[in-house]
Every structure is written in C-alpha cells, then in structure tokens.
Structure 1
Amino acid sequence: MTMKTPSFSSYLLLAPLAILFLVFLLPSLNRSSGSDGIGVLCNRRTGAAHHHHHTVVPPIPAQAEPEPELSLLVGILTMPKLRERRDIVRLAYALQPPVPAYARVDVRFVFCRVTDPTEATLVSLEEMQHGDIMVLDDSCAGENMNDGKTYAYISSVARLFAAAPYDYVMKTDDDTYLRVAALVGELRGKPRDDAYLGYGYNMSGDPMLFMHGMGYVMSWDVATWVSTAAEILDRNDTLGPEDLMVGKWLNLAGKGKNRYDLKPRMYDLNWGMDNFRPDTVAVHMLKDNRRWAAAFNYFNVTAGIKQSSSSKLYHRLPLP
C-alpha cells in the first residue's frame, strides 16, 4: 500500500492543534501530580529563585533548618467510607494559622486494613493526592476503635517511626476540631517523657485520670512502652472502650505520671452549639456538616471570603 505525501494544506490544518497543545497541554506536563495536603503542618522555606540572566552570582550558603523544640504526630482514626468527612477535616487543618516555628506537626488519617477493593482504590488515590494516609498492619482487626484499633495505632507508630521518633503521639477522632497552635502551646512547657494529657476523666471514684477519646497525647516513651507491653495482650486489654483501656494500661503499669487535664479547653459541643470557647484546644462531637459549619463560623475560618453573586458565579463565560 502506498502512502500519500502530505500536502502543504494538510500542515495548515494541523497548526491549530499544535497551538492548542502548546497553550493548554504543555504547561500541565510540568505540574506536580500531587499536593502537600495536611501531611506536614510546619513552616517551610521556599526554594531560591532561578536567575535567568548571564551574570555570575556567587551561591548563597544554605542555612540549615533549625530543629524544632517539639514534634507531634496526630493520628485521626477514621473509616474508608468517610471521605467527605476527611475532606472537611483537611480544610479544618489547612485553614488554621501556621503552626509556630518551634513545633513540627504531622497529621495522618489512620485505617486498619482496607480490604474492600473499591475502598482500597479510593484510599490509594487519596494517598496519592494528599500524602496523609496511614494503613496499619494485619494486627488491626477492624475499623472500630474499641476492637483494638487504638492499640494497633499506638503500637505501630512506635515501630514505624523508631528511626525518627516524635516527642509526642496523639490519637484523635474525625469528629474533633483540633486547634493545632493552641495544642502545641500547651505542650511546649510540658515534659517530653512519661507524659499523658487530654480531657481528664474519672471513673467510679478512681483518683487516677484517664483521657477522653476525643483526643489525647502521650510522650514517645509511653507509646514505645505500649508497643512492647506483653501484659496488655495477656489481659486481652485491647478490646473495650478505647480511652478507658488506655488509662487502664498506664495506671496498672505506673506510666504517664506527668498527667495534664486540659478541661475546659477541650470539651464536647452541646446540642445548642452555643458553648464554643475562644481558647479552645479541641472541640468534639462534630458529627455532621451543620456542626462543622458552626465551628468554622465561630472560629472565623471563613472570615474575609468575598461572596460571589449567582450571576458572577455561574455566567463567567459568554454564552455561545
């Protein structure tokens, strides 16, 4: 079969396609495929600007990033099906004021084993986009935190980050609005060892506090002890109300002696949604979008956003 030599007019027909490629497609090839998400909430230095002229400029010696005074890993226990909730929580972290320079805070959404093929695919896409997913190993039986997920999270963290430990490890829920700068302000002057803090709670007159499951923090040495404490497994103490069980582990072993009750700065939102505090560290029970919106409004997350009229919003392009 012979091939016809393209005519000059054929090249002219291809010219508009080439222009479209250069204008619309080529720039997209230079973009990064992912985003930082909320994986790391810390101050970052921007890269040096590129020089486009021919003058030789002596390189500026790179300045080492100062080590933060404290580091915190925040694990948000959630379930694969709650994608909308995670997106709301991502906004709740991303729109907060910057974390103080003295702290480094990493945030991860924590799953057990994502076995459903559909959920596994969607969670993988979330990880590619946001980089803030942590999937635990086979020691985690299910997504219910009272069925051992909290134990699996704490014990896994100590192994996963053994080479680069944090000062503190936090467990919190996806219905908790955590104000990160307020929390690290609380942690800054606290001990880095044998520490356990959150919303303190007593049970049946027991003078030993345990911390409410809305969110609690333990120092790295306490998390490491949990990962190696055979007695927890021997007593089958991974099952049951997870916050109460964590308190039991520490109380029986005499761990977490440096305890700090952050009430009233940590609290449950009431049904009337009228008990927000300006000095909030964490507010819990944000079970639906209406309650999340109330929190955003109270803390002025949307302040300064200019509302667009419907005519401007939906008719920006000329009609054909």
Structure 2
Amino acid sequence: MKQATSSRFPATSFCSLCLRLLLPLGLVAMALSSLVVLSVSGCLSAPRSRPVVDNTNNDGGLGAETTAAREPEFRLLVGVLTTPSRYERRGILRLAYALQPAPGAQVDVRFVLCDVTDAADAVLVAAEAARHGDILVLDGCSTENMNDGKTHAYLSSVPRLFAPCPYDYVMKADDDTYLRDVYLGRGYAVGDDPMPFMHGMGYVVSWDVARWVSANEDIVRRSGTRGHEDRLVGRWLNAGGRGRNRYNLKPRMYDINWDMDEFRPNTIAVHRLKNNRRWAAVFRHFNVTVGIKPSTAARPHN
C-alpha cells in the first residue's frame, strides 16, 4: 500500500480529530467478547489503550504548558472511501468533523483512494495530502468502485500498514455519510438473525477481524471480492464464523428523504448526501454551525 503522507501526523492535523459519535462503542466493547458485529455494523474487541499527549496549562496562565500522558478510551481508524476528483466533498467532511467536540477516544479519519492515474488529480491530490495529511492511497486497487474490490483492498491493507501501532477498531464509511456525535448505547441485538450483510453507509470491525480479512485467502477463493460490498463483508464473516454477537443500529442510521425534513431522534448517521443542499440541510438541522459568527472581513466599509 502507498500512502501520500506518513502514517502519523501532528496532533493539530485533521487525522487526529476525534468524533464523540463513537465514544460509547468503547463502553459497549468492554462488556462483549472478542468477535462482535455492530451495525454501525461492527465487529468489536476489547480496546487496547494507547497513551496520547494532552497539552494543558498547569495554572491557567499563558505559556504554562505541561505534557501529560493519558489513555484514550479506544483507538479507531475511519476510512472514508472516496474518489480523487471529489475535493469539495472531502472539504465538507473535514468541516463536519472538525466542528464536533473531541472525546477521550482517538479517532483518525482518512480518505481512501485507489491508484490516482489522472495527471491533474495526481498533482492536486498530492497537494491536498501535503496540506491535510489525511489521504490514504491503496496499492493493488485498480478501480475506485468499492464493489469491484476496493473495500477488500482497504480492510486487508490497514493491518499491514498500521502493524507497528494497531488500532482497536477499523471503520469503513461512504463519503456521502454524515456521522453524528450522539450517545449510542448498545443498539439492538440481532439474536439468531444471520444478518447476511453489513450496512454499506458505515460499519466497524475490530482489529482482529481486519487482520483475519487481510490474512484469509479463502475469502478470495470462496466468496470473491467483487459485488455489493456490504453483502460481501457479511458473507465473509458468516463463512468464517466471525462476528458472533451482533448489534444493529440501523434505525438510527438512515438515508435522507427527498424533502430533507424527516430527521430522526438520536440520529447516528445520515446517508445519501449527494449534493451541497443535502449537506446544508443536515448541518442546519443538527446545528453544526451554531455559535459561529459570520465573518465581516470581506464586507465593504461605507
């Protein structure tokens, strides 16, 4: 796998943004066994905490800074599968998550691309990666269509790329999905339902499951990597006996309606935000920009 920038970035960079949305998953995982499926849909394992740097003023005064190590609730990698030309969409997503309060968890957001073959995109994506440090470019991935093997390339590459410092969980998300910072709870137990598919808008797998996908050649031989990716991931897990304890959060994760006016209480994710009007409706409803004063710098003075 190739990466446009290094795997670790300064604490001020975008990939260190934390989403309060997923904080309760750490609490859920503490009570569950190693192989669990949650539908944001995910497979959870008990988190392995890593120290993070917390720069705070010791006495509240300017210039008084101390560095203390604290343990995050858990470490999560969110891979947003996107295409090279969607610069504006990535900008909107950066705004959406930068405006969310940071929890005690460490959540790193990366935009996942295949090989960037267009000459203009190659230049612009390189500049974007240098500026934001949140672009991940996959090797062995010939198409940006996630149903043609991109999802498998992502899930199977992450354990190798981040082996020196593994995450607790790995998330796959669409670039037309808005993840919200809402308390989740345990979700809804699926019980004996085999749940043959994941929810394509977003799902989480534990690090051990991602490692299993990466190392399991039977996935390619028996189930393939091309087709509806959410169904394929569910098929892999079922065939391999993974994700025995399953939880479904889909009532709180849904597609936006035509009139953009039926948002649900305790929303976790809104999907199919295909244009700026839909993103604006979501921002407006969930008060994403509340408290932000409009700039007057560009207004002419009389």
TM-score (norm 2): 0.76
Q: Which has the higher contact order (CA 8 A, sep 6+)?
A: 2
Secondary structure in 1 aligned to 2:290? coil
Question: How many angstroms apart in 1 are the aligned matches of 2:209 and 2:53?
Answer: 29
- How many equivalent residue pairs? 254
RMSD of the alignment, in Å? 2.9
Counterpart residue number, 2:82: 78
Gaps of 5+ in 2: 1-9, 19-51, 59-63
1:77–1:110 CA contact under 8 A, matched in 2: yes
Gaps of 5+ in 1: 1-33, 50-58, 190-196, 201-205
1:112–1:135 CA contact under 8 A, matched in 2: yes
Q: Which residue identity does 2:224 align to in structure 1?
A: D
Q: Which residue identity does 1:314 align to in structure 2?
A: R
Secondary structure in 1 aligned to 2:259? coil
Secondary structure in 2 aligned to 1:151? helix
Q: Which residue identity does 1:116 align to in structure 2?
A: D
Counterpart residue number, 2:266: 279
Secondary structure in 2 aligned to 1:210? coil
Question: How many angstroms apart in 1 are the aligned matches of 2:194 and 2:11?
Answer: 47
Counterpart residue number, 2:143: 142
Q: Which residue identity does 2:123 align to in structure 1?
A: T
Question: Does 1:68 find its partner at 2:55?
Answer: no
Counterpart residue number, 2:14: 38
Counterpart residue number, 2:160: 159
Counterpart residue number, 2:92: 88
Question: How many angstroms apart in 2 are the aligned matches of 1:308 and 1:250?
Answer: 50
2:78–2:108 CA contact under 8 A, matched in 1: yes
Question: How many angstroms apart in 2 are the aligned matches of 1:109 and 1:308?
Answer: 29
Q: How does 1:1-320 map to 2 (within 5 A)?
A: 36-42=12-18, 45-46=54-55, 64-98=68-102, 100-101=103-104, 103-137=105-139, 139-179=140-180, 181-182=181-182, 186=185, 207-235=194-222, 237-307=224-294, 313-316=298-301
Q: Larger C-alpha radius of gyration, 1 or 2? A: 1
Question: How many angstroms apart in 1 are the aligned matches of 2:261 and 2:114?
Answer: 35
2:83–2:113 CA contact under 8 A, matched in 1: yes
Aligned residues with identical type, % of pairs: 60
Measure how far apart 1:272 and its partner are.
Answer: 1.6
Measure how far apart 1:47 and its partner are.
Answer: 6.9
Measure how far apart 1:135 and its partner are.
Answer: 0.4
CA, structure 1 residues 44+301, in 2 after alignment: closer, same or farther (shift >3 Å)? farther
Which is worse superposed, 271-280 or 74-83? 271-280
Q: Which residue identity does 2:230 align to in structure 1?
A: D
CA, structure 1 residues 308+41, in 2 after alignment: closer, same or farther (shift >3 Å)? closer
Question: How many angstroms apart in 2 are the aligned matches of 1:158 and 1:307?
Answer: 43
Question: How many angstroms apart in 2 are the aligned matches of 1:144 and 1:232?
Answer: 19
CA, structure 1 residues 271+44, in 2 after alignment: closer, same or farther (shift >3 Å)? farther
CA distances 1:183-225 after superposition (whole Å, capped 9, x unpaired): 7x55xx7xxxxxxx99x8xxxxx74342211000011111000
1:35–1:130 CA contact under 8 A, matched in 2: no
CA, structure 1 residues 220+289, in 2 after alignment: closer, same or farther (shift >3 Å)? same
Secondary structure in 1 aligned to 2:182? helix
Q: Which residue identity does 1:39 align to in structure 2?
A: C
Measure how far apart 1:83 and its partner are.
Answer: 0.4
